[in-house]
A and B are shown apart, each in its own frame.
Chain A
Amino acid sequence: MRLTRRDFLVGSTALAAGASVSAPFLLPKYHTDHRPRRSRVAILNAEKYSQELDQILAAGLRLFPIDVQGKTVVLKPNLVDYAPGDAINTHPLLVLAAAESFRRMGAKSVVVAEGPGHQRDTQLVLSQSGYQESLRDEKIRFVDLNRDELTRTPLRASYMGMRNLWLPRTVLEADFLVSMPKIKTHHWAGVTLSMKNMFGVVPGARYGWPKNILHWKGIQESILDICGTVPVHFVIADGIVAMEGNGPLNGTPRPFGKIVLADDPVAADATCARLMGLEPYRIVHIREGSRFLGNAAPSFIDQVGETVTAPAEPFQVVPEFRLLHEWTIGVPQVCRTLRSRAS
């Protein structure tokens, strides 16, 4: 069969059109691979919020080769709204313990920073949730990220199709950013852990209360773009009392007795999900994050402290996320792997 010049042109055009249509789906949506060769996660037992958290956390942090000497440390808790008796926010005692530990480790300054997503009156959330008094007593500065000075920042991942985000100066200038989530299920994202917690750095004064544009661009996509752009250096996850069901605001408190520390947010979130009895690879931002942000596979995670054991009763989720209870690989197998690493 003879290939005419016309055939060649038609074929080339078709090939070019096909490539241009499929390229956006095939090309990676992240600019840089941030994954460390190995990640480290520590699970600490803590049954209640008490002054003992100071010692528990200090001991946990010693399991990591952290150097914050002379650095500006920003602690980013999950502070959304307040309802008496509910496990919505990262507990202030854990944040105080973290601040104290980093100060002892030689940090130049320790700042607590958050931009609540629902409640415009940040001071009201701070006072009702017990933060205001605690931070004042310990002379720890709080920065309202909803109203901080902003810098237009090019995104280093392109899952949601935005090129830039206006982000707060305090976060961009941090030498050491610590995500301190509350371990919770989430009715739109599946879970809200260290990666979803970074939603709070997006300023309400520029994106509204809640940051509705991010919901429309896709929650999972937004999480990936934010975490791809603002590196989380360390995670301290509050699971002493966690939340299950219709989180992040209206779920049920669940006494869980765990604090999870990690030097990699993806490893932290994957481990938290396993502890919750949820399959991390079924959570889009953890699965996709494991391609460029960190490690979700147990074989790349050095487990220290307590071992990963899935709970007898997995965390309840809203019906749309029932799939999280189905494991792609058996939970006992994952736990065995992690247990052997821990030992």
Chain B
Amino acid sequence: MTTDQVVLSGLLAELILRQLPCGGWAALASSSQPALEPTCFAAFALCSFPGVALERAQQFLLHTQRPNGSWPAFAGDESDGAWVTSLAVIALHDVVPAIPARLQGVHWLMSCAGKESNWFWKWKFRTADRHVRFDPDKFGWPWFPDTVSWVVPTAFALLALNELPCACDGLEQVPFRIERGVEMLLDRVCPGGGWNAGNGVVYGVPVAPHPDDTAIALLALREYRWDSMVQSSVQYLERIAPTLTAPWSVAWAILALAAYGRPIDSIYGSLVGIPDLSSADDTSTLALVCLALDHQRALSALGVTS
């Protein structure tokens, strides 16, 4: 076994140890409150190793779906979380009994849009509220309903919708939403490439991109790799990745750069070399590192071809 395989199997073992009796995972090792995001990332990580842990995770996802088709941020919450709905839809991709649940989730995603898609807010952002530079015609998904579109939930929704085999059975609007979502991401890109949480310019000042937001947006825009803004964002990520030390950002950078066929050996090596990875308190980070160490399979689980 190579060093990275040893590290990966240790991390997967730790991940399985952290699974809660309900089948989900908590955000932090010290917590027992099952949350959707770490559960979805853990399910992606375990995809390559089918077994009881993965089945229990999938059952947990099916049980926590809300009657309207969305998923909440954590079990017991009454909210509709747009980004976790996208992640759950992706996590249940290959589960045949989960097809109705996935479809319900997709229908909910289609009904959810950033607040700027509404004519009134469009008008307000065009006329009265112009501090944040963006085109309200180009909208995506919010973190939660009744707020505007943000980069990460839009990128996750695009990944989820891109996995659909067809736009039929009431999902004819999927291509329209995908187009708007892609436009929204390209509209909000930071001037020098890369993405921040939302807009690239606020009060006339360009904001700095975030490595993880950039990587997630790039994964969603894989089909638009020839776009100049996408290319400059890949270049930004290539520049910043070797300077990163936080495993969450390094792992996202590996996934995105691998998806674009860029060399990742050096940052891959630095991720493997981070000491005490399995003691990371944040379970999503732990799962993300597993995905990065097994990036080819991870990308296929996310529906991204490299």
Partner-B contacts on A (CB < 8 A)? 81, 83, 118-124, 126-127, 144, 147-150, 166, 187, 205-210, 212-213, 215-216, 246, 249-250, 318
Q: Contact: B207 with A249, CB < 8 Å? A: yes
Q: Contact: B212 with A205, CB < 8 Å? A: no
Set A123, A127, A213, A318: member contacting B147, Cβ < 8 A: A213
Partner-A contacts on B (CB < 8 A)? 26-28, 30-33, 35, 37, 73-74, 77, 79, 115, 131, 142-144, 146-148, 150, 152-153, 196-198, 202-203, 205, 207-208, 210-213, 244-249, 281-282, 284-285
Set A149, A209, A250: member contacting B150, Cβ < 8 A: A209
List the 9 shortest-distance A-B pairs measured between CB atoms, nearest first. A208-B143, A147-B27, A124-B246, A212-B147, A123-B246, A149-B31, A250-B205, A121-B248, A149-B33
Min CB gap A103→B, angstroms: 21
Provide the residues of chain B in CB contact with A187, threshold 8 Å: 131, 202-203
Closest to A150 in B: B33
Docked complex Cα distance between A166 and B79 (Å): 11
Provide the residues of chain A in CB contact with B247, threshold 8 Å: 123
Q: Contact: A144 with B281, CB < 8 Å? A: yes
Sample of 7 further A-B pairs with CB below 8 A, known A123-B247, A150-B33: A118-B210, A123-B246, A124-B249, A127-B245, A150-B74, A187-B203, A212-B143
A-B contact count (CB 8 A): 104
Min CB gap B150→A, angstroms: 7
Provide the residues of chain B in CB contact with A208, threshold 8 Å: 142-144, 147, 150, 153
Min CB gap B128→A, angstroms: 12
Name, among B147, B244, B247, the residue most crowded by chain A CB atoms within 10 Å (CB to CB): B147
Q: Contact: A205 with B37, CB < 8 Å? A: yes
Provide the residues of chain A in CB contact with B77, threshold 8 Å: 166, 206
Q: Contact: B146 with A213, CB < 8 Å? A: yes
Q: Contact: A205 with B249, CB < 8 Å? A: no
Q: Contact: A212 with B142, CB < 8 Å? A: yes
Closest to B280 in A: A123
Q: Contact: A123 with B282, CB < 8 Å? A: yes
Docked complex Cα distance between A123 and B246 (Å): 6
Docked complex Cα distance between A249 and B206 (Å): 11
Provide the residues of chain B in CB contact with A118, threshold 8 Å: 196-197, 210
Min CB gap B192→A, angstroms: 14
Q: List 17 A-B contacts (CB under 8 A).
A: A119-B197, A120-B197, A120-B210, A120-B212, A124-B249, A127-B246, A148-B31, A149-B32, A149-B33, A166-B77, A206-B79, A208-B144, A212-B144, A212-B150, A215-B147, A216-B146, A250-B207
Set A127, A213, A318: member contacting B203, Cβ < 8 A: A318
Min CB gap A284→B, angstroms: 18
Closest to B210 in A: A119
Q: Contact: B249 with A121, CB < 8 Å? A: yes
Min CB gap A198→B, angstroms: 20
Set B32, B35, B202: member contacting A205, Cβ < 8 A: B35
Provide the residues of chain A in CB contact with B147, threshold 8 Å: 208, 212-213, 215-216
Set A124, A207, A210: member contacting B244, Cβ < 8 A: A124
Min CB gap B224→A, angstroms: 23
